[in-house]
Structure 1
Amino acid sequence: MVSEANAMSTKNIFFLGLILAAAGVLSPPLALLAGLVFALTVEHPFAMESHDLSKFLLQASVVALGFGMDLHEVIHAGRSGFVYTAVSISVAMLLGLLLGRVMRVPGKASFLITCGTAICGGSAIAAIGPITDANEEEMGISLGTVFTLNSVALVLFPFVGTRLHMTQSQFGLWAALAIHDTSSVVGAAAKYGAVALTIGTTVKLARALWIVPLSFATAYAMKSKAKVKIPWFILLFCVAAVVRTYLPTLHGIYTALSGLGRSGMAVTLFLIGTGLSREMFRKVGVRPMVQGVALWIVVAVASLMAIRAGLIAI
């Protein structure tokens, strides 16, 4: 009877967290923190369902955010960021693989952590993992490393940006280049301002498109017959921006959809937080985490210095 009461209480707490995140009471960083506290203190009553829902909700929220973007801004951000995106991804990949070899991180885990850092965190790992035939532990190690650093970035980046008096354009670009996952980029950028959110989202999604060529290159190099996953939600984001730009009479609907996208991101981060179990942190271990942290610091500091020096800009 006591165990049933405890289970019901845990479910109520979980649903309360979802409601608070959806209502905007919990900001994206707080939503992630609340989810993490939940995961580390009680047994998740809907672990599998939360994992599936967070994946779908992330993609749906990104598409909804597209209704708040102007197509011209999306094209400008993607075009102006193409060269340094290609260069930064290439450099991050080479450096990450080198660090993994030096630190003797298992090959597949090292490659997945590097892909996640170079492009777009969990989405890249989820796309590349099956192609490399990575097992559950290797996927868990890679995702655990990336999600842990996402948690840090959500709090650290807005603080650093404020202390350095970065403009919203500068911060949005920095977040897109140096924070792993789209959801965390949106969370950090939304906290910094509307302009930062627009630039951060568009640049990050343009960067995420590089999953496709990397997936094909990985499949070719490993002679894998695994199906390459195309991130269709990014293309739907662009469609939403097209609709918003060329059918401006429905502005009220677009505003509502964009608002739902922001609420969906907060809920997504709460769900992601609830999935960061003690077991996952134990699986991460020291070496993969050190590789991930070292690579992330280099990427974050190098991109910050380049933005501050005016070498890259939107």
Structure 2
Amino acid sequence: MPQGQATLPAQAYDWVIPRGWRHEDGTVSDGATPRRYNRSGAFEIIVTTSGDTGGTISVRAIDTTCDPNATRTTLATREETRQLPTVCIGSNGAPATIFCGDQTDYGFRADVSGSQPGGRITGYAWSVLGAGWNLTNASAATPTIIPSGTSGATITLVASYERNGFSATLRAPDAVLSYSQQLPTPVFVGSNFDLCLNQRRRYEVRPIRGSVSYRWTATPASLIPGGSATTTVPYLDVTGPNTDATASGQVRVEVSNAAFGCASNSATVNFQIGAGSAILRSSANYYGAVCPYAPVVFEVERANARGQDNYAWYVNG
């Protein structure tokens, strides 16, 4: 500090506190007008918050020795915030896209986080903007929302929150569900679709929501059933042929919903029939003759083998 100057204690402080907060004498602040505390110890004060709003707190030290406004310090400020809970729209697996014919109750719910001690949600207000969608129990934490099956929708949620006599409105981010006129692509369950001779195997896809029919086409014709079949369940039991005349097969499924006029969709799996082929070869085939007491090498040549082979050898003569 330059010579000849001295640090003097402040005789007063001008405080500005957020709107709605109360000064030490009970005066309610307007959030802008400074409140003068005429004491040297007023570098700290005790105020009463409103419980709802935060805002800017500012203070300036005042030297009132000669002139009440002669000397002012630089304004010091800080921001005080009030944390509110957050509310979001949750569900039991609701997709981002609602497919044609889907009228599933996905169990939409209000998910609240960050509530402070003494705080509580006092009410909910749900709304659905979507042609034909059905909303019931709109003031509950878990409403019932049924899609129309013919359109997407925007779901909104507003919650009322109370704490220590303060109330606030909490708005959740909207849940925007798009719409597809085409049914989803069927997905086959499992990874091994190969079929042994006379084996019975179930070819199954994940269920498609809505009143869906499944049209199956199985080839070759030696499969049972071979050709086309229609079911209301998402699977078809197929039995392999009794010969391996055809080494491969295919099952195709097409899903449709005639009641809603949905565009169909399909999926296909290809598979092997039987255990593959086996060719017996020997050194005698190469040389054309076998000498007495000479060794002969026999070998099985496999193609399209499945799993682990076991061999049983028989020699006659």
If each structure's strand is expressed as a fraction of its own residues, which one has the higher value?
2
Bigger CA radius of gyration: 2
TM-score over 0.5 (shorter chain) = no
TM-score of the aligned structures, taking structure 2 as reference length = 0.16
Q: Which protein, 1 or 2, shows the higher relative CO under an 8 Å CA cutoff with sep ≥ 6?
A: 1
